[in-house]
Amino acid sequence: MFERLDPRSPIPLYAQIADAVRLAIAAGELREGHALSSVRQLSAELRVNPATVVQAYRELEQDGFVATRQGAGTFVQAVGKELRTRERRNAARRLVRDLVRDARRLGVSPEDLRDALDHELTGGGR
């Protein structure tokens, strides 16, 4: 779930962590009632400051994705279909933005990028 975290990104780590959890919930990888790792466990696993994980969990709670129960942990909340759909769309936009940025850096033309994308979307990349 956290394989795409990039400490060099201009996006703060707490936001990257929160985005990864949101996407996992939207994709159904994390379901209602699932306990997230403790702040201490996740910060050790990701090698980040515990305050970073606290901030990510706080943001997720404010957005209605998780609930923290004092002494018990942080748990995935029931998330409606509209919210899951919105998160998947946001994730798709982020992926495309990253793809376009990388393609520009490599000098790939918009036409070649469209062709490559069409090829992959139609199953030609299998």
pLDDT digits (tens, 9 = 90+) for 38-78: 999 999 999 999 999 999 999 999 999 999 999 999 999 99
Question: What was the pLDDT predicted at 15?
Answer: 95
To 10 degrees, what angle do helices 50-62 and 13-26 make?
50
Average pLDDT of the chain to the nearest whole number: 92
Q: E strand or H helix at 67, and its extent?
A: strand 66-69
pLDDT band of residue 84 (cuts 50, 70, 90) is confident
Mean pLDDT over residues 82-93, rounded? Answer: 89
Mean pLDDT over residues 87-115, rounded? Answer: 92
Given a cut of 80, whether residue 125 has pLDDT beyond it is no
